[in-house]
Amino acid sequence: MTSRAPLRSGNAPSDIDAVLHGWMSEWHAKGLPGELDHVHAPDERGHYHWLVRLRGDEKDVITIWFSLRQRTVHVECELMPAPEENKEALYAFLLKKNAELREVHLALGPEQGVYLVTQLPAAEITADRVDELLGAVLTYVDELFVNAMSLGYQSLYRRRKGSRS
């Protein structure tokens, strides 16, 4: 019986590092700003981590974590911190939107922040998949951020960008 997500190979950390650096080089070649950081040693659980920072239209900096686990790469991006107001309305909005999302889904993080997340088998991380995932994350953050922050921080959040409503 073959597993869709077999145990990662010993080369997986360097393979994924090469894919992410290659993707970032192509991103920069298009004249787009972004940064890639990598922790070269595994954490206490044996996971390797990469951090991609990109510019968004609505949220200035969009940070995406890639975490290589035993069989998969976990990808996550914080959409917003834990809401302080209108939680029921916010969660209803996000659950409705969750059904429309492709490539990633919405989830609550450990401190109740709202995240876009997905997991892929480690062997499926290619430059094309990274481009699809990051394209989806950028699109959804820009699409959801203003409404989510306006609901979850109604008395505090004021939209800084004036071009769209």
Q: What integer pLDDT is reported at residue 164 of this predicted model?
A: 47
Alpha-carbon distance 118 to 106, whole Å? 9
Domain limits, the chain = 12-152
Q: Which fold has domain 12-152?
A: Yope Regulator; Chain: A, (3.30.1460)
Residue 14 has pLDDT above 50, yes or no: yes
What average pLDDT score do residues 131-149 get? 96
How distant, in Å, are the alpha carbons of 40, 122, 134 from that of 15?
A: 13, 10, 18
pLDDT, tens digit, 9 for 90 and up, residues 84-122: 999 999 999 999 999 999 999 999 998 999 999 999 999
CA-to-CA distance for 105 and 99, rounded, in angstroms?
8
Q: Check if the beta carbon of residue 20 is closer than 8 Å to that of residue 35.
A: no
Give the pLDDT band (50/70/90) at residue 159. low
